[in-house]
Amino acid sequence: MAALPRDTSVAVIGAGAMGAGIAQVAALAGHRVLLFDTRMGAADDARDKLVSTLAMLRDKGKLDATAAAAAGERIVAVHALGDCVSTGLVVEAIVEDLAAKRKLIAELDVIVSEATILATNTSSLSITALAAGSRHPARVVGMHFFNPVPLMPLVEVVRGLATADDVATTVFDTARAWGKTPVYARSTPGFIVNRCARPFYAEALRLLGERAVDPATLDAVMREAGGFRMGPCELMDLVGHDVNFAVTSSVYAAMFDDPRYRPSVIQREMVAGGRLGRKSGQGFYRYGEGAPAPVPATEAAVPAPASVAAHGDLGPAAALAARIGAVAATESTPPSGLGAAGALAIGDAWLVMGDGRTATARAAAAGVRDVVVFDLALDYATCRRIAVARADTCSDAGYAAAVGALQAGGFAVSRLDDVAGLAVLRTVAMLANEAADAAVEGIATAADIDIAMQKGVNYPRGPLAWADALGARFLCTVLANLAAHYGEDRYRLSPLIARRAQAGMPLVESR
Ligand code: NAD
């Protein structure tokens, strides 16, 4: 099956933010686009704005003049649904409401030919449920774009129970012909991205709920150590807490109250108080003129210790040891109970990579007092910041020695309360766990889940490839420690991670 021919018209229903973006992309790909909206004047306004956008892209040299003019001419605002009769593909991007979308699909059933594909841009509704309202459910398919449509490459092509294979393939090939990166997904709550991204917000809200860290510090750690483009708090402020809370609540309800997806009391309070984020002028941060810029907590400079000894195999943190100038110790194993194959000794203090336990628990298990745990980083060789936690038993001198060693390696050090799993580690572990379960449930392939998280929400690495770099066995340890610490089903291990750890095999098959 091939992409929709370029000489076939496409109808876009709903001329809001998403519909306009979809119209732009389809027109630039060479289709005549019929744009319809029930709100008076909305389709004409959207068309005029698109023509200006295309002219701006031309002026910036991003589009050649002929292409911009031709794409503008191909976008036609229509004023009745009946005008969409001779189209090969209809993409609906109307309000996110099951009844409204089902009504629209039923109306289209009698307007367009049986061969016309009916695609929906819904973010959260079941494709199966939407198709059930159609006389021809086999031609109903999800075509889920991301905002802003012209810039975000991902399109989730979502099959409901009844979606015909050739319909899904045509939409997949069409998305590719439009310059997008399509992935197949099954119709389940949140599809790939909106489901697999839940832990990014959920773990952040939990850390804030435990008062382990403030928003500015958490965001800085997630950006500067985790490599995420935005921290979770600033991202929730951008998306809007009302929207983010609604998506979380809908996935939670759709998953029959699985604690993995439980919404946060903190966020509900923010929504109740109208602190919706950027759009209301205040969320975790204040916006507008005179608003203070967020400042992360960073430890003051302390002297570098005389020497750091590297004991054993530091695994993923070997680059950190090299960066702070650690020298291999003569005796090579760290005290048992610290729970790491490798650790850094600075005088009497131990500096170890996180494993899902608190620093206090590790100090107690090892029978030592001065333990400082550092968080995961995307790349220990280059990251600018690192989060640490200090055992309750750790002396001031021991803590200062650990901080001094990290600062000597060029890290800004942010101290979190002694919370299990710190910030980046628990987030990445839970993102990988969710992605693994989505793969187990056949929502998409492991490789496609990784692509979706990189192309749909800009993650610096696919969560499953990230898990592979750390090792499935290490992930098992981290999640088991988090589960033991909290005693909650929320941190239960995905059977795929357990199996791959036992087999010593990667989660993502080589491509
Ligand atoms: P929007 O509110 O900006 O636009 C919706 C438009 O649909 C409005 O102009 C409205 O007048 C029109 N409309 C409502 N009912 C209609 C009907 N029956 N027939 C024709 N037009 C109708 O919304 P949006 O943000 O563009 O979202 C549209 C869809 O895309 C929703 O299903 C949403 O879940 C989904 N989506 C949104 C985003 C996002 O980030 N905004 C991302 C992916 C998917």
What CATH number is associated with residue 97? 3.40.50.720
Closest CA to 6 of 228, 263, 178: 178
Tell me, yes or no, whether 123 and 43 share the same domain.
yes
Contacts 24+ apart (CB under 8 A), 103-107: 103/133, 104/13, 105/130, 105/131, 105/133, 105/134, 105/140, 106/133, 106/134, 106/135, 107/81
Distances (CA, A) of 5 to 87, 116, 142, 468: 11, 13, 19, 40
- Write down the pLDDT at residue 510: 57
Closest CA to 173 of 46, 388, 381, 1: 1
Catalytic residue among 9, 92, 136, 144: 144
Residue 194 belongs to a domain: no
Token pair 């095999």 in the structure block, residue: 505
What's the N-to-C CA distance of the chain in angstroms?
23
Q: Pocket residues for ligand 1 (CB within 6 Å)?
A: 13-19, 36-39, 42, 93-96, 100, 104, 121-123, 145-147
Tell me, yes or no, whether 92 and 21 share the same domain.
yes
156 is catalytic: yes
User: Count of residues for the chain?
Assistant: 511
For residue 6, is pLDDT > 50?
yes
Distance CA 25, CA 74 (A): 11
Q: What is the mean pLDDT of residues 290-295?
A: 95
Q: What is the CA(37)–ligand 1 centre distance, in A?
A: 10
144 is catalytic: yes
Residue 46 belongs to a domain: yes
Q: Which of 255-259, 280-284, 327-331, 435-439 has the lowest mean pLDDT?
A: 327-331
Residue 265 belongs to a domain: no
Q: Which domain holds residue 471?
A: 428-503
Last residue of a domain, one of 415, 444, 466: 415
pLDDT digits (tens, 9 = 90+) for 201-222: 999 999 999 999 999 999 999 9
CA angle (375, 376, 379) in 5-degree steps = 130
Catalytic residue among 123, 244, 433, 494: 123
Q: What is the CA(142)–ligand 1 centre distance, in A?
A: 14
Q: For ligand 1, what atom is nearest to the CA of residue 96?
A: 32
194 is catalytic: yes
Catalytic residue among 9, 121, 187, 194: 194
Tell me, yes or no, whether 346 and 450 share the same domain.
no
123 is catalytic: yes
- Write down the pLDDT at residue 1: 59
Residue 354 belongs to a domain: yes
Last residue of a domain, one of 384, 415, 446: 415
Q: What is the CA(19)–ligand 1 centre distance, in A?
A: 7
pLDDT digits (tens, 9 = 90+) for 398-415: 999 999 999 999 999 999
pLDDT digits (tens, 9 = 90+) for 411-422: 999 999 999 999
Sheet (strand 75-77) strand order: 75-77, 33-36, 10-13, 89-92, 117-120, 140-145, 154-159, 181-186
Tell me, yes or no, whether 143 and 53 share the same domain.
yes
Predicted confidence band of residue 339 (pLDDT cuts 50, 70, 90) = confident
Residue 436 sits in a domain of what CATH number?
1.10.1040.50
Tell me, yes or no, whether 37 and 178 share the same domain.
yes
- Write down the pLDDT at residue 231: 98
For residue 441, is pLDDT > 50?
yes
Judge whether 340 and 361 are in contact, CB under 8 Å: no
Global pTM value = 0.94
For residue 511, is pLDDT > 50?
no
Q: What is the CA(476)–ligand 1 centre distance, in A?
A: 41
Tell me, yes or no, whether 381 and 481 share the same domain.
no
Q: What is the mean pLDDT of residues 117-123?
A: 96
Q: What is the mean pLDDT of residues 124-142?
A: 95
Last residue of a domain, one of 386, 415, 444: 415
**In the predicted model, what is the mean pLDDT of the chain?**
96
DSSP-derived 3-state class of residue 355: coil
Q: What is the mean pLDDT of residues 346-369?
A: 96
Residue 402 sits in a domain of what CATH number?
3.30.750.190
Tell me, yes or no, whether 371 and 480 share the same domain.
no
Tell me, yes or no, whether 347 and 481 share the same domain.
no
Residue 322 belongs to a domain: yes
Ligand 1 pocket: which of 92, 95, 155 to mutate (most atoms within 8 A of CB)? 95
Q: What is the CA(122)–ligand 1 centre distance, in A?
A: 9
Distance CA 344, CA 346 (A): 7
Tell me, yes or no, whether 398 and 470 share the same domain.
no
Tell me, yes or no, whether 342 and 433 share the same domain.
no
Residue 213 belongs to a domain: no
Structure tokens at 94: 């109307």
Tell me, yes or no, whether 384 and 497 share the same domain.
no
- Write down the pLDDT at residue 407: 98
Judge whether 33 and 91 are in contact, CB under 8 Å: no
Share of the chain above pLDDT 90, in %: 94
Tell me, yes or no, whether 399 and 483 share the same domain.
no
Residue 215 belongs to a domain: no
For residue 332, is pLDDT > 70?
no
Q: For ligand 1, what atom is nearest to the CA of residue 103?
A: 18
Q: What is the CA(120)–ligand 1 centre distance, in A?
A: 10
Closest CA to 296 of 229, 363, 385: 385
Determine which residue's CA is closest to atom 16 belonging to ligand 1.
94
For residue 340, is pLDDT > 80?
no
For residue 161, is pLDDT > 90?
yes
Q: In sequence order, which ranges of 383-471 are alpha helices (DSSP H)?
A: 396-408, 424-440, 446-457, 463-470
Residue 58 belongs to a domain: yes
Residue 177, H or E segment: helix 165-177
Residue 336 CB burial class (10 angstroms; 0-12, 13-18, ≥19):
exposed
For residue 250, is pLDDT > 70?
yes
For residue 380, is pLDDT > 90?
yes
As for how many domains the chain has, the answer is: 3
